[in-house]
Chain A
């Protein structure tokens, strides 16, 4: 019932907890495969910033890189992304769980007060 989830994967979270980095990842997922230059053209970040984000994503195993001529191309790693989605889904459920508890408590309180009235 606490907010803490000890089971989360720290590297994945670190990688995707930053909103700017999630935008880079979102776009790369949509593209499938891209260079930092291509990604930077569609984002309000510099190529250097995009490259830095990609580096963090790569260390978390979310993307892989390969050299293509003078540039490096990045692509998403399906299995890691799938794991990240699972973590997100688990986390997203917390407010729903709280609301469900609020509902149960309020309805019980209402029933109790109706009986007492």
Chain B
């Protein structure tokens, strides 16, 4: 397990197939994630996420699909550099896991790993973390806890 990892989950009152479509179909992804989405949701399929499309500094993020196991697992790699191809060692891995809870409920889990394992120059990692990543929620939580402990003692 990478030192950098974030895991989040949510319970959704919808069947697993509906949640699956929400996280894999470009017109749905557009409503919760990026401003514009192109995606070929098949293993090794490629796509782009576009952020800040109406601003002076738009951001284009290439992604490569890693796992498509409908309706249980969807994973892709992404990299915040338009001219690079996302792959192991140079891109962060995002894995969605869907667990049905009866016929009408789904537990959706997302795990993001890898930024500290990347072979990018430090400056690029910093830029990535700054621009994209929620990743050090874990580190942040730990720092905060330690800080409170120190302040209390």
A residues bordering B, Cβ < 8 Å? 1-4, 8, 10, 13-14, 16-19, 22, 25-26, 29-30, 32, 76, 78, 81-82, 84-85, 88-89, 91-96, 98-103, 105-107, 109-110, 113
Total residues of chain B contacting the partner, CB 8 A: 55
Given A81-B143, A95-B6, A98-B32; A3-B132 close (CB under 8 Å): yes
Asked whether, in the complex, the Cβ of A96 is within 8 Å of the Cβ of B136, the reply is no
Q: Which of A3, A89, A102 contacts B140 (CB 8 A)?
A: A89
A-B pairs with the 6 shortest C-beta distances?
A88-B140, A92-B137, A110-B14, A101-B32, A17-B129, A99-B10
- B-side residues, CB < 8 A to A, are 3-4, 6, 8-15, 18-19, 21-23, 28, 31-35, 51-52, 55, 57, 59, 104, 106, 108, 110, 112, 116, 122, 125-126, 129-134, 136-137, 139-144, 146-147, 149-151
**Once the chains are docked, how many angstroms separate the CA of A13 from the CA of B140?**
12
A–B Cβ pairs within 8 angstroms, 23 of them: A3-B131, A4-B52, A4-B131, A14-B126, A16-B139, A18-B125, A18-B126, A19-B139, A22-B136, A78-B151, A81-B147, A85-B143, A88-B137, A88-B144, A91-B133, A92-B140, A95-B137, A96-B10, A99-B8, A100-B10, A102-B10, A106-B22, A110-B15
A91–B133 Cα distance when bound, in Å, is: 7
